[in-house]
Amino acid sequence: MATKKSTGEEVVNHYGLVRLRVNGSASLVSTLYSLDKTQSDSLAPLTLNSTTNIEPTILSNFTQQRAKLQIKTVNLGEWFQISRVVIYVKAVAKSYPQ
């Protein structure tokens, strides 16, 4: 049985959690941005270990149609390697009020 296809409308999403598979030696600062960077949500900083068996999760509370995730280091000489990013998103509205 075929599933219903999207109508192409831009729904409003809630970005609730970011989970990373990341290794390195750094302090990471993450930010979620809306389209054209008109709004942003700075996420909690994350200090990395070179090896770990834990995928860190960072809580967020950001509601937009689309979002861009920026991850950067704080100091020179820090490094990180990301092998997986999972962003938990839930549609909360069909569209913004006109």
- Predicted confidence (pLDDT) per residue in 17-29, tens digit: 999 999 999 999 9
Which one is predicted more confidently, 31 or 95?
A: 31
Q: Which helix (H) or strand (E) holds 62?
A: strand 57-64
Amino acid at 12: V
Query: DSSP strand E in 1-98: where?
Result: 12-25, 27-33, 40-42, 46-47, 57-64, 68-73, 79-93
- Rounded to two decimals, the pTM is 0.80
Q: What is the pLDDT of residue 2?
A: 47
Q: What is the pLDDT of residue 1?
A: 46
